[in-house]
Structure 1
């Protein structure tokens, strides 16, 4: 039997969960936050533990500009040769995580509608 990956949550991931909770409350979908927690603890984390490469390699995309290429190269150097940055889309959520050996760090989570709900406020910044 192979070893399970150890999944850890970063402070940023916790802040993102707080943001999602507030977002869902404002959209009058408070019960959806409990559903998200169930999804994370019952499906996402167990899936990552047994199949850590389930997410798409985020840095495998072809950069569309010199600036993007430079940022991707900087991220690769920062991650190191045995680590990857991966994205995992599950339900209404996009997760970013790093995979390094048998360690997974959940970096970020967003509801797919968080950005699109308030574009006007973002444009005014």
Structure 2
């Protein structure tokens, strides 16, 4: 049997959960948030405790732009500064993308996003650009 790893939620992950909840509330799909919490506690966390390397290694993904390459390099340096053997991985769920780092025997959940969430406030950006016309 595989050794169990400890799973910790970072403050950023907890903040992301609140953003997902707001997003689903606005989409009138709050029951999906309840389902996410159940999936995290009943499936995702137990899976990561037993199989911490199950997610795809984040740094193995191809970079297709200079900006992405620079961002990856910066992220890699930050991870190296925290933990030399840290593994940054992504766990892909049907509706969510979860980012985590494995450092020794601890898994730190870093980020979670619904696949439909935008990473910026499009409506406020639209309002700003309409005002400049």
Answer with 1 or 2: which has the greater Rg. 2
CA contact (8 A) 2:2 2:51 kept: no
Structure-2 residue corresponding to 1:74: 74
Residue from 102, 115, 128 that aligns with 1:112: 115
Structure-2 residue corresponding to 1:7: 7
Structure-2 residue corresponding to 1:47: 47
**Counterpart Cα distance in 1 of 2:60 and 2:124:** 29
3-state DSSP of counterpart to 1:121: helix
Structure 1: tracts of 5 or more residues without a match: none
**Counterpart Cα distance in 2 of 1:98 and 1:122:** 32
Residue from 91, 96, 99 that aligns with 1:93: 96
**Counterpart Cα distance in 1 of 2:47 and 2:124:** 34
How far the C-alpha of 1:32 sits from its partner, in A, is 1.1
Structure 1 segments, 4+ long, off by >6 Å, are: none
Could you tell me the TM-score, scaled by structure 1's length?
0.87
Structure 2: tracts of 5 or more residues without a match: 129-133
Residues 115 and 43 (structure 1), Cα distance of their counterparts in 2 relative to 1, 3 Å cut: same
3-state DSSP of counterpart to 1:54: coil
Aligned residues: 124
